[in-house]
A and B are shown apart, each in its own frame.
Chain A
Amino acid sequence: MRRLALSDDILLKIDKPARYIGGEINSCMKDAASVDIRFAMCFPDVYDIGMCHLGIQILYDMFNSWDDVWCERVYSPWPDLDAIMRRDNFPLFALESQEPVGNFDFLGITLQYEMCYTNILQILDLAGIPLLATERSDDDPIIIGGGPCSYNPEPIADFFDIFYIGEGETRYRELLDTYKECKAGGYGRLEFLRRACRIPGMYVPQFYRETYNPDGTIKERVKLYDEAPDTIRKEVEMNLSDTYYPTKPLVPFMQTAQDRVTLEIQRGCIRGCRFCQAGQLYRPVRERSVEYLKSIALEMLDSTGLEELTLSSLSSSDYSGLEELLEFLIDECNKRHVNISLPSLRIDAFSLDVMSKVQDVRKSSLTFAPEAGTQRMRNIINKGLTEEVILKGASEAFHGGWRRVKLYFMLGLPFETDEDIEGIGELCNNVAMTFFDEIPKEERREPVQIVASTSFFIPKPFTPLQWAPMGTREEFVRKAHVCLNGIHSQLNQKRIKYNWHDTDTSELEGVLARGDRRLAPLILEVYKRGQIYDAWTEYFNYQTWLDVMDEMGIDKDFYTTRERADDEIFPWDFLDIGVTKRFLLNEWHNARAGIVTPNCRDKCSGCGAAVFGGGICFSER
């Protein structure tokens, strides 16, 4: 029997002990003595959230397919266990071997959202690893970050040895081989990092320094090691139909956020919505072949026994083989009594038909994401969804029996006026009107329900709106009320429910998203004052953040509400995602002028992502 790191006494005292025992179906056990590299892969949030993350499962599967590597998993201990571990000086352990992470060769941390930054420090601290990269010794693991937030790694640069920029499938083998060479040659940490930074995609932050202008903006980046590259281009896997995919995904013992088989059908998005970071970061669009998807879907269902399958992509409706794939999946899933969930489908006759086959129409709701209330505003953000299309989709849906509609919007977009916000209420009302106009009275027993949700726009690096100012908390609250009043003034206001997102979290996310290296001491100090789990409202304490910013003389408005000049150097400019800054700036100007840019399938706009030599950029139109 595997021995557990934690005693029965502790496990029976804490909430959900199954988070810490490992041993799940399809988890990988190896003989520690037979491998050269021990890799701990971490999602810095609680097990229930991190466990189902596809990116980690892909890398876990890839690493463990190599005989010389044993990859294990680690998640943030929940605050109840965190307190016990600190009290008893109990070292953080990996789930598979239950051995201390501090003894591993690598600790990889995925960076999915800014609000997990204090949890990164929790992980390092509990593992007994010095929090600052420059204070680590040859005995400490190499700390490597990856994932969406590594596209502006600067606020957390001090805590990492390496950031892997881009998709993990391509360069890890090279990195690990370099590590093995250094180990065999007796070279220390510094020499390894020097060699690592010459591998494409690897960013070693301690080899660079920023200098600043009197106004606080960046003056220049200075290299501290000559051989370090000036820019680092993201890594992309160009053939997604012949690469690593976890066909035997882990099956947790306890319920997690998503207990389902995830089928990633493509990466990237053709649409180019101007607020969307993922839409730029993952260009160009690359599809997996239908044949490949069919075969891995069945393998995953067989190897897990999970009762639900979901498609994953930024915009599933744009996948060219969707009809064929769905026909196959619906058939196979029916045979196996497996449910299919279909997020991110555009509402049209085809998708309604498909959805009516896989869900109980009356109980499920339809989702539209117009993102803004008026066409003027939607043109600014390049969201190619018109009111006409929404109402047509809603009408077909009502005829098909649906009664619940969810609509997602953003507040605080650049160039927004109160009329644009009030447009949200009007659009919702028009959806309700469509119901009353089109559905005869006798079929209206179950009334239409509309839920409008707004989140606050947060400008993100590598988007056309990275130059834009973000609203203040006070403005957000005011705008939410404008929106609410707009809804209340509508004829069908009783049928419309309105939710809005927390303003404090949005503001902090805004600070961290476009932050620079001067924020690392802030994150460190907030952590030292006991703050973890900022992504969880019950543990988030914005006042601590504000207090420390105050004490350190950090002006949050510098990061959030300030409009950037066209030629400002951004903290993330040294990263190259293929899409050029020139293209993004042009898009920013187009936004201001309300000019719409076509999607990649209709017409190439020459964004720069064609440098990767494949995907949609080279397909026939």
Chain B
Amino acid sequence: MKLRIQFTKHGSMKFIGHLDTMRYFQKAIRRSGIDVTYTGGYSPHQVMAFAHPLGVGVESDSEIMDIEVGSFDLIGGPDAGKNTIGNERECLLKALNDQMSEGFTIRDIRLLPDDAGNAMASVAAASYEIYGLPADKYDVIVDAIDQIMSADEVMIMKKTKKSEQLVDIRPGLYELGIRDGVLCMRVDASSAGNIKPDTVVKTLCEKSNTDPETFSYTVTRTEIYGREKNGELKPLIEFGFKTDWLT
């Protein structure tokens, strides 16, 4: 059985890198007593997958990880044996939340349907908020946003280790706007067309003649989305069931 876990990563936890975050959760799950499944062999590890790695320095309201469990019981940890039938989700949620350090909070745990795709391949989009835009530049930035969103294509130079390549990011920019002084965006986050929030900020700076060195901003990821069969974006967590785990 596969569980999907949604968690936040705030404050100083933004300095914990992706691999260290995975290791952090492996230990937290052990402490919680959740009946996670292990691979075999001499150094067994938990069956666990993260939807989308989060860069060091970026906070998040909604990270997604899937784990496989043998049962909904708590087989160890402080709440061992305490979970009640019909209340499995709440018990696991509490057990894992009790193991969190400041900055990590478990928001939700859902049971995935058997046919759910794996977390990483399911990612279609992500939304971000950018704080710290220079207030005196709002007007020009708003103009630049209009310009970008009404254009047919937005070509940028994408550098990889080996080469430089012109790519069009316009198709992957689903939403872009300023709300209460915060730059909000929803962009492609699939493995084929992932757009980094920094790339969008850089493009906006270029189009609005803003020197990126004159201000520093912070990034918060607010949601990760998958795509429904009809093509609509839906938060990844909602692909799982909240109730009726035993039926």
Interface residues of A (CB under 8 A from B): 1-2, 4, 8-9, 11-12, 17-18, 21, 23-25, 251, 253-255, 259, 302-307, 336-337, 339, 358-360, 363
Q: How far is the CA of A156 from the CA of B101 in the complex (A)?
A: 39
Whether B44 is near chain A, meaning CB under 8 Å from some CB there, is yes
Whether B174 is near chain A, meaning CB under 8 Å from some CB there, is no
Q: Is the CB of A253 within 8 A of B24?
A: yes
Q: Which of B27-35, B153-161, B162-170, B189-197 lines the interface with chain A?
A: B27-35
Q: How far is the CA of A245 from the CA of B222 in the complex (A)?
A: 42
- Beyond A8-B57, A12-B57, A253-B20, whether A305 also contacts B15 by CB under 8 A is no
1/0 per residue, CB under 8 A from A, across B66-110: the answer is 000000000011000000000000000000000101110000000
Q: Is the CB of A1 within 8 A of B20?
A: no
Q: Is the CB of B56 within 8 A of A12?
A: yes
Nearest 10 A/B pairs, CB to CB: A305-B27, A305-B30, A305-B31, A17-B15, A360-B42, A21-B12, A337-B44, A1-B11, A337-B38, A12-B57
Q: Is the CB of B20 within 8 A of A4?
A: no
Q: Is the CB of B101 within 8 A of A302?
A: no
- Across the A-B interface, how many residue pairs have beta carbons closer than 8 Å? 78
Q: Is the CB of A2 within 8 A of B102?
A: yes
Instruction: Tell me which of B27, B28, B103 contacts A1 (CB under 8 A).
Output: B103
Q: Is the CB of A305 within 8 A of B43?
A: no
Instruction: Tell me which of A9, A259, A305, A339 contacts B42 (CB under 8 A).
Output: A339
Given contacts A18-B20, A23-B101, A251-B27, 13 further A-B contacts (CB under 8 A): A12-B57, A253-B13, A253-B101, A254-B17, A254-B20, A302-B77, A305-B27, A305-B28, A305-B30, A305-B99, A306-B30, A339-B42, A363-B42
Q: Which residue of B lies closest to A361 (CB)?
A: B42
Question: How far does the Cβ of B91 sit from chain A's closest Cβ, in whole Å?
Answer: 18
Instruction: Tell me which of A8, A253, A254, A336 contacts B218 (CB under 8 A).
Output: A8
Q: How far is the CA of A330 from the CA of B85 in the complex (A)?
A: 33
- Beyond A302-B31, A305-B31, A337-B44, whether A11 also contacts B15 by CB under 8 A is yes
- What chain A residues lie within 8 Å of B76 (beta carbons)? 302, 336
**Contacts A/B (CB < 8 Å), 5 sampled:** A8-B57, A305-B99, A307-B30, A359-B42, A360-B42
1/0 per residue, CB under 8 A from A, across B13-26: the answer is 10111001001101
- Beyond A12-B57, A359-B42, A360-B42, whether A23 also contacts B31 by CB under 8 A is no
Question: How far does the Cβ of A419 sit from chain B's closest Cβ, in whole Å?
Answer: 42
Q: Is the CB of A255 within 8 A of B23?
A: yes
**Residue from the set B16, B23, B77 with the largest chain A CB neighbour count within 10 Å:** B23
Within 8 A of A (CB), among B34-77: 38, 41-45, 56-57, 76-77
Q: Which residue of B lies closest to A29 (CB)?
A: B102
Q: How far is the CA of A259 from the CA of B10 in the complex (A)?
A: 24
Question: How far does the Cβ of B197 sit from chain A's closest Cβ, in whole Å?
Answer: 15
Question: How far does the Cβ of B103 sit from chain A's closest Cβ, in whole Å?
Answer: 7
Q: How far is the CA of A303 from the CA of B76 in the complex (A)?
A: 11
Q: Is the CB of A255 within 8 A of B26?
A: no
Question: How far does the Cβ of A23 sit from chain B's closest Cβ, in whole Å?
Answer: 6
Question: How far does the Cβ of A249 sit from chain B's closest Cβ, in whole Å?
Answer: 12
Whether B150 is near chain A, meaning CB under 8 Å from some CB there, is no
Question: How far does the Cβ of B98 sit from chain A's closest Cβ, in whole Å?
Answer: 11
Question: How far does the Cβ of A339 sit from chain B's closest Cβ, in whole Å?
Answer: 6
Q: How many of chain B's residues have a CB under 8 angstroms from any CB in A?
A: 32
Q: Is the CB of A339 within 8 A of B56?
A: no
Q: How far is the CA of A291 from the CA of B43 in the complex (A)?
A: 27
Q: Which residue of A lies closest to B37 (CB)?
A: A337
Q: How far is the CA of A363 from the CA of B43 in the complex (A)?
A: 12
- What chain B residues lie within 8 Å of A251 (beta carbons)? 27
Question: How far does the Cβ of A401 sit from chain B's closest Cβ, in whole Å?
Answer: 13
Whether B216 is near chain A, meaning CB under 8 Å from some CB there, is yes
Question: How far does the Cβ of A534 sit from chain B's closest Cβ, in whole Å?
Answer: 28
**Residue from the set B12, B28, B42 with the largest chain A CB neighbour count within 10 Å:** B12
Q: Is the CB of A17 within 8 A of B56?
A: yes
- What chain A residues lie within 8 Å of B16 (beta carbons)? 18, 253-254
- What chain B residues lie within 8 Å of A359 (beta carbons)? 42
- What chain A residues lie within 8 Å of B103 (beta carbons)? 1, 23
Q: Which residue of A lies closest to B36 (CB)?
A: A337
Q: How far is the CA of A337 from the CA of B16 in the complex (A)?
A: 25
- What chain B residues lie within 8 Å of A17 (beta carbons)? 15, 56
- What chain A residues lie within 8 Å of B13 (beta carbons)? 253
Q: Is the CB of A21 within 8 A of B102?
A: no
Q: How far is the CA of A25 from the CA of B15 in the complex (A)?
A: 15
Q: How far is the CA of A359 from the CA of B41 in the complex (A)?
A: 9
Q: Is the CB of A306 within 8 A of B27?
A: yes
**Residue from the set A8, A25, A251, A305 with the largest chain B CB neighbour count within 10 Å:** A305
Question: How far does the Cβ of B18 sit from chain A's closest Cβ, in whole Å?
Answer: 12
- What chain B residues lie within 8 Å of A9 (beta carbons)? 216
Q: Is the CB of B12 within 8 A of A23?
A: yes
- What chain B residues lie within 8 Å of A337 (beta carbons)? 38, 44
Q: Is the CB of B12 within 8 A of A339?
A: no
Instruction: Tell me which of B27, B41, B218 contacts A25 (CB under 8 A).
Output: B27
- Beyond A17-B56, A339-B42, whether A2 also contacts B12 by CB under 8 A is yes
- What chain A residues lie within 8 Å of B31 (beta carbons)? 302-305
Q: Which residue of B lies closest to A363 (CB)?
A: B42
Q: Which residue of A lies closest to B10 (CB)?
A: A1
Q: How far is the CA of A302 from the CA of B101 in the complex (A)?
A: 16
- What chain B residues lie within 8 Å of A18 (beta carbons)? 15-17, 20
Q: Which residue of A lies closest to B21 (CB)?
A: A253
Q: Which residue of B lies closest to A360 (CB)?
A: B42
Q: How far is the CA of A339 from the CA of B13 in the complex (A)?
A: 28
Question: How far does the Cβ of B117 sit from chain A's closest Cβ, in whole Å?
Answer: 27
Q: Which residue of A lies closest to B14 (CB)?
A: A8
Q: Which residue of B lies closest to A9 (CB)?
A: B216
Q: Which residue of B lies closest to A12 (CB)?
A: B57
Q: Which residue of A lies closest to B33 (CB)?
A: A302
Q: How far is the CA of A306 from the CA of B77 in the complex (A)?
A: 13
- What chain A residues lie within 8 Å of B99 (beta carbons)? 25, 305
- Beyond A1-B102, A1-B103, whether A305 also contacts B11 by CB under 8 A is no
Q: Which residue of B lies closest to A301 (CB)?
A: B30
**Residue from the set A253, A302, A306 with the largest chain B CB neighbour count within 10 Å:** A253
Question: How far does the Cβ of B127 sit from chain A's closest Cβ, in whole Å?
Answer: 22
- What chain B residues lie within 8 Å of A259 (beta carbons)? 23
Question: How far does the Cβ of A248 sit from chain B's closest Cβ, in whole Å?
Answer: 11
Q: How far is the CA of A253 from the CA of B77 in the complex (A)?
A: 20
Q: How far is the CA of A605 from the CA of B131 in the complex (A)?
A: 72
Within 8 A of A (CB), among B215-241: 216, 218
Question: How far does the Cβ of B46 sit from chain A's closest Cβ, in whole Å?
Answer: 8
Q: Which residue of A lies closest to B29 (CB)?
A: A305
- Beyond A9-B216, A23-B12, whether A307 also contacts B56 by CB under 8 A is no
